[in-house]
Structure 1
Amino acid sequence: MKHIGKATVFIAGCSIIMGIASCGNPQGTSNQQTKKATSAEDSLQTYVNDRLAIYEKVKLTTNINELTINERKILPLLIQAAQIMDELFWKQAYPQRDSLLTTIKDEKTKEFIWINYGPWDRLNGDKPFVGGIGAKPDAASFYPAGMTKEDLKNSDVKDKNGQYSVIKKDSAGKLMSVPYHVLYATELQKASSLLKQAALLAEDAGFKKYLNLRADALVSDNYTASDYAWLDMKTNNIDIIIGPIENYEDKLFNARASYEAYVLVKDKTWSKKLAKYVAMLPELQQGLPVDAKYKKEKPGTDSELNAYDVVYYAGDCNAGSKTIAVNLPNDEIIQQKKGTRRSQLKNAMKAKFDKILVPIAKELIDKDQLQYINFDAFFANVMFHEVAHGLGIKNTINGKGFVKEALQEQYSWLEEGKADVLGLYMVTGLLKKGELEGDIKQYYTTYMAGILRSVRFGAASAHGKANMQCFNFFKDNGAFIRNANGTYKVDFVKFEDAMNKLSKMIIMLQGNGDKAAVEKTLREKAIITPELQSDLDKLTKSGIPVDIVFEQGVDVLGVK
């Protein structure tokens, strides 16, 4: 389906009002057609009403009294820069936003468009929820409407898979590449200026350096120096992750990055607890349950685990399922040389645990195992998911280049699956070494409840696909049983065995760069069975939210 341009949005709008695909000759519309139109409109609005209820509103706040006066002055500048990233993501995901919204009369439909950054339900397989809107295009606005993979492959464009450019057609219809910093120059100059202003107020030397370098990066598309500066920061109290970062929105090649931003305040107490684990990565890498050739790479260890309160989400990270932990940068070379920073978004994580995971567990986890559900286990499972992105393999073993290049659009979901299962592998290993506190039953049972939470994100999400694969693999290997009453009971011995088998399978798929095999796995395992769907439907009927949306900004935070 081609992108809907401004000229055709009015038609889509008419179909919302009239429930038919064309606005032509309304005088000739029969009573029967009118009834059908009304029924279609009511059906869409009923769908939107039902789907809006899956989101729980959460206020993003933190204790700003622990910040210095200058840090409190910096936060509004960072939030303004983040808001610019939000607008840029709209341009990437659905640039016809304003034209579409003018045709919509129903306020709830408008609200749902804002949540989804467009007229497709991100947590339900990108189902269109506005009349006259077709399927969501894989190309988003990164590529010309109707362009095929072969068209780009056979072109002479040098920047075919560039992260920071858009493919367009020139006046002669020839494909060409336009850098982000050229295409979005006005917005990026404003965001850059705001970061420079923040840098003038910054008291922490590392944070000041990062802000200045990131400001320069936004207007040049050269992010390497700022990524290194970000990893070098150790003593900052506030942070901003900003720029074109993740590739999820480009479903054609998984190549081009989308704009997003997080504004963060460090939780010093929790951050101290996490400091020791990164140093253990090389030892854990050597213990991976695969042949030696798949674990020759040495993970970087010069990076940090930190806990933060997130006070603003913008752009890609605010679309669909909300991120509760971040592992960056994504650059494989930087990861191997320097490592990554794993940021745990503790207040958002706690909100999902309290409002979603605990109610899910009460509904779907065996009553005798409910005692094992706790926040510390949830926090650790999510944290080690992010750490585990650094484990495994970045380069294929057979000369196909980076795993990401070899697997293309199949990379993201499999990488998320790898991080899920290797995170659990890390938890298991650290418990056995006495480096982590708690009972393995807590971590495994909470992980099971976490799968049932995340699988609700659906097939359009990389995380949803990863969790569906994990659920089906664990089921096939007897890691849990489904009781007659529809609750799930973990077999703790088989759970560990299934974890090791799935770890091995994913690392080998990545190391072999075998895209066809990954696609086969996706088709066979990354599915929601009718039985599982019936159990998930129980959660919806019980009014348990699927995800959260935020009340956020300077007013909520109490800064000006």
Structure 2
Amino acid sequence: MALSFRTIGTLLACTTIALSACTGDQQRQPASTAKVADSLQDYVSQRLPIYERVRLSTDLNQLTVTERKMLPFLIQAAEIMDELFWKQTYPARDSLLAAVKDEKTREFIQINYGPWDRLNGDKAFVAGVGPKPDGAAFYPAGTTREEVEKSTLKDKLNPYSILKRDSTGALIAVPYHVAFAAELQKASNLLKQAALLAEDAGLKKYLNARADALVTDKFTASDYAWLDMKTNGLDIIIGPIENYEDKLFNARTSYEAYVLVKDREWSKRLAKYVTMLPELQKGLPVAPRYKAEKPGTDSELNAYDVVFYAGDCNSGSKTIAVNLPNDEEIQQKKGTRRSQLKNAMKAKFDKILMPIAHELIDKDQLPLINFDAFFSNVMFHEVAHGLGIKQTINGKGTVRAALQEQTSWLEEGKADILGLYMVTALVKKGDLKGDLKSFYTTFMAGILRSVRFGAASAHGKANMQCFNFFKKEGAFQRSANGTYRVDFDKFGLAMNKLSNVIVTLQGNGDREGVAKLQREMAVIPADLQADLDRLSRNGIPVDVVFDQGADVLGMK
């Protein structure tokens, strides 16, 4: 039985992570406690170095004087999203951190937003907390999937509510704007203050609409306003957005924020690709009924420097590109905005992907790997979220509703593989410059980077699936010394075959089929694990953490 977060908080104040411990009769046991504390610090000393620290900055001279005045308001609003994400994932943060004296351990807890190691299968690294609840803090402790399914509670899977129990023990839904009213009102006020300063009409409209949405949980109007923005230099993605944290139903959304500065030069280079979506949809390697939908094309494809991450997007593996909004109806009517976070992407390429490539990619193919190919692969991953199928073909409703907790990881796998399909098609047509061998080899290195995110991550599962599927199809070979060499012809064939498998499962709403695929393919084989262990021994980081904020930008 899962411990409640309140129980955990109490337990942490008097248990194994402190310098003394409590037993049933409140007697001290300093020897055993010291041993556990040493064990905790040993674990942290091994795991903390998997994160490379990166400074988030940009050239503020590209902003107007007014935009520079707006930036602190946006960062302060984002910081509130960080606080709300803690409440959703681990409300006992303060008691946990108060009980920990070691600074490195405190840092590791803050990176993971709790006592579970997000890049190690959500392993508990603090004694006494137990396994991470699948429902995080969205559901009462001990709530089962079956109990929620049998409940007669109206709108029980509302993405903008948490479930609690009333005095009789019955489940009740509490809207986010009620549960977090004080914090959301502060964030709303900050957005409105920024809107008062905004000179760009589209940005002003969006900030006001999003401010209202935060305190009502009605986000549609602000999503449309966000998509309508065309000439803004600043941007903020803010609110309850992704549902990765809800592993019980994949229904409830987590708070997050990105504060962004547009790179106008790179954005101009990317603008043409969204218009090609309908043609690319027609060419998908799937049966006609699985590609009959028409993707929206009134979308923006832009590059940004990100200057602040908060909440869900800042936990575990850090997002380097965004495709929003998630609302399927808006996607079909209007499209999405694909935001490439160029400075964060470059940091991961330089500090993680290239060191991995030097260790694991065949030396003859190593020169094929470059940042432009990495950028394009990541970019078209996000664009590819708009391809495929959103409504099942057999009356099961949306793909998200039909697949439930299996939705996110398979959707990330779809975006990976259809993004590569898009790259292939565009290079062959001459609409994307570059050598296809470079894109394929860089994609292979990207798989080896992302499988390290582990089984608790949707992106990690997606890349494990891709690795195992491509291995089965002979798309690459592993040498005796543990390096990988791409077979370019078989790589393209495997890409098409996996595209068909994923889109067909989505279109059929085949939840059991997806679960079977996860069990069989979203696993790390022993030889790959040995290679990943080699990366760790050589000190190659798994992901990044950020030095960020107004002071880092030189605004204080």
In structure 2, relative to structure 1, the CA distance for the partners of 1:28 and 1:44 (3 Å cut) is closer
* TM-fit CA distance, 1:2: 2.5
Please give the alpha-carbon distance, in whole angstroms, between the structure 2 residues aligned to 1:431 and 1:313: 33
Structure 1's 558 and 117: CA in aligned 2 closer, same or farther, altered over 3 A?
same
Q: Please tell me whether residue 2 in structure 1 is matched to residue 2 in structure 2.
A: yes
Residue in 1 aligned with 2:201? 205
1:18 positional shift:
7.1
Are 1:288 and 2:267 an aligned pair?
A: no
Q: Partner residue of 1:125?
A: 121
Cα deviation, residue 156, structure 1: 2.0
Paired residue secondary structure (1:53)? helix
| Higher mean C-alpha deviation, range 153-162 or range 464-473 | 153-162
Does 2:357 match 1:361?
yes
Corresponding residue for 2:342? Answer: 346
Q: 1:151 aligns with which of 147, 151, 157?
A: 147
Q: Give the structure 1 partner of residue 158 of structure 2.
A: 162
Matched, 1:42 2:22: no
- 1:387 equivalenced with 2:383 (yes/no): yes
- CA distance in structure 2 between the partners assigned to 1:146 and 1:508 by the alignment: 35
What amino acid is aligned across from residue 244 of structure 1 in structure 2? P
Per-residue deviation at 1:362?
0.1
CA separation of 1:8/1:128 partners in 2, compared to 1, >3 Å: closer, same or farther?
closer
Equivalents in 1 of 2:27, 2:299: separation in Å? 67
Paired amino acid for 1:90: W
Please tell me whether the aligned partners of residues 140 and 250 of structure 1 are also in contact (alpha carbons under 8 angstroms). yes
Measured against aligned partners, the alpha-carbon deviations of 1:309-364 in whole angstroms (never above 9, x if no partner) come to 00000000000100000000000000000000000000000000000000000000
Measure, in 2, the Cα distance between the counterparts of 1:19 and 1:486: 44
**Aligned mates of 2:464, 2:523 — CA distance in 1:** 6
Equivalent residue number for residue 393 of structure 2:
397
Deviation at residue 558 of structure 1 after TM alignment: 1.6
Deviation at 1:516, TM superposition (A): 0.5
Q: CA deviation at 1:102?
A: 1.2
TM-score of the aligned structures, taking structure 2 as reference length: 0.98
Question: In 2, distance between residues paired with 1:371 and 1:133?
Answer: 47
Partner in structure 2 of residue 428 of structure 1 = 424
- Listed as ranges, the matches of 1:288-307 within 5 Å are 288-307=284-303
Q: State the one-letter code of the partner of 2:453.
A: F
Count of matched residue positions in the alignment of Structure 1 and Structure 2: 556
Residue in 2 aligned with 1:76? 72
SS in 2 for 1:44: helix
Question: Is 1:524 aligned with 2:520?
Answer: yes
Structure 1, residues 5-54: CA drift from partner, whole Å, max 9, x if none? 3454343344324799962346586xxxx655543332221111111000
Aligned to 1:474: 470
Residues in 2 aligned to 1:252 and 1:228: alpha-carbon distance in whole angstroms: 29
Structure 2 matches for 1:499-514, cutoff 5 A? 499-514=495-510
Deviation at 1:57, TM superposition (A): 0.5
The equivalent of 1:551 in structure 2 is 547
Q: Helix, strand or coil for the counterpart of 2:365? A: helix
Q: Is the 8 A contact 2:8 2:92 kept in 1?
A: no
1:309 corresponds to which residue? 305
Counterpart mapping for 1:185-200 below 5 A: 185-200=181-196
Instruction: Indicate the residue corresponding to 1:216 in structure 2.
Output: 212
Distance in 1 of aligned mates of 2:471 and 2:260:
38
How far off is 1:4 after superposition?
Answer: 3.8
Deviation at 1:171, TM superposition (A): 1.0
Cα distance in 2 between the residues matched to 1:311 and 1:5? 32
- Which of 250, 258, 262 aligns to 2:246? It is 250
Q: Distance in 2 between matches of 1:20 and 1:521?
A: 46
Q: Determine if the alignment matches structure 1 residue 176 to structure 2 residue 184.
A: no
Separation of aligned partners in 1, 2:443 and 2:28 = 58
Deviation, 1:139, is 1.1
- Look up the SS of the partner of 2:451 in the other structure: helix
Secondary structure in 1 matching 2:340 = strand
Q: Secondary structure at the match of 1:310?
A: strand
Q: 1:140 aligns with which of 132, 136, 146?
A: 136
Structure 2 distance, partners of 1:528, 1:403, is: 27
Structure-2 separation of matches of 1:526 and 1:488: 19
Contact conserved, 1:308 with 1:345, CA < 8 A, in 2? yes
Equivalent residue in structure 1 for 2:323, among 327, 333, 350: 327
Match of 2:231 in 1: 235
Q: Displacement of 1:109 after TM fit? A: 1.0
8 Å CA contact 2:20, 2:28 repeated in 1: no
User: Please, which of 262, 269, 274 is the counterpart of residue 273 of structure 1?
Assistant: 269
Question: 1:195 and 1:115 mapped to 2: Cα distance?
Answer: 26
Paired with 1:473 and 1:21, the residues of 2 have a C-alpha distance of 49
Distance 1:8 1:468 in 2: 33
Q: Summarize the alignment of residues 7-22 of structure 1 with structure 2, pairs less than 5 Å apart.
A: 7-17=7-17
What whole-Å deviation, never above 9, does each CA across 1:206-227 have from its counterpart, x for those lacking one?
0000000000000000000000
Contact 1:385-1:419 at 8 Å conserved across structures: yes
Tell me, in whole angstroms, the C-alpha distance in 1 between the residues paired with 2:195 and 2:218: 19
User: Which letter maps to 2:158?
Assistant: G
What runs of 5+ residues in structure 1 fail to find an aligned partner?
Answer: none
Q: 1:28 to 1:179 in 2, by over 3 A?
A: closer
> Distance between the aligned counterparts of 2:21 and 2:410, measured in 1?
38
Indicate conservation of the 8 Å contact 1:16/1:104, yes or no.
Answer: no
* Superposition RMSD in Å: 1.4
Paired with 1:409 and 1:19, the residues of 2 have a C-alpha distance of 40
1:18 & 1:552 partners in 2: Cα distance? 30
Given that 2:203 and 2:232 are in contact with CA atoms closer than 8 Å, whether structure 1 keeps it comes out as yes
Query: What is the percent sequence identity of the aligned residues?
Result: 73
For the 8 Å contact 1:13–1:132, the answer to whether it is kept is no
CA distance in structure 2 between the partners assigned to 1:496 and 1:366 by the alignment? 19
Counterpart in the other structure of 1:62 = 58
Contact 2:8 2:129 in 1 (8 A): no
Q: What is the distance in 2 between the residues matched to 1:187 and 1:37?
A: 37
Aligned residue among 407, 410, 420 for 2:406:
410
Residue type of the partner of 1:193?
N
| Distance in 2, Cα, partners of 1:118 & 1:39 | 22
Between 1:152-161 and 1:363-372, the stretch displaced more is 152-161
> 2 CA distance for matches of 1:362 and 1:434?
30
Distance 1:343 1:62 in 2: 16
Instruction: Indicate conservation of the 8 Å contact 2:13/2:95, yes or no.
Output: no
What secondary structure sits across from 2:551 in the alignment? helix
CA distance in 1 between counterparts of 2:8 and 2:371 reads: 49
Moved more, 7-16 or 407-416: 7-16
Question: What one-letter code is carried by the residue in structure 2 that aligns with 1:197?
Answer: Q
CA distance in 1, matches of 2:473, 2:7: 53
Q: Is the 8 A contact 1:12 1:21 kept in 2?
A: no
CA distance in 1, matches of 2:194, 2:446: 38
Tell me if the contact between 1:394 and 1:403 (Cα under 8 Å) persists in the aligned partners: yes
Distance, in Å, in 1 between the alignment partners of 2:508 and 2:20 is: 49
Q: Distance in 1 between matches of 2:425 and 2:200?
A: 36
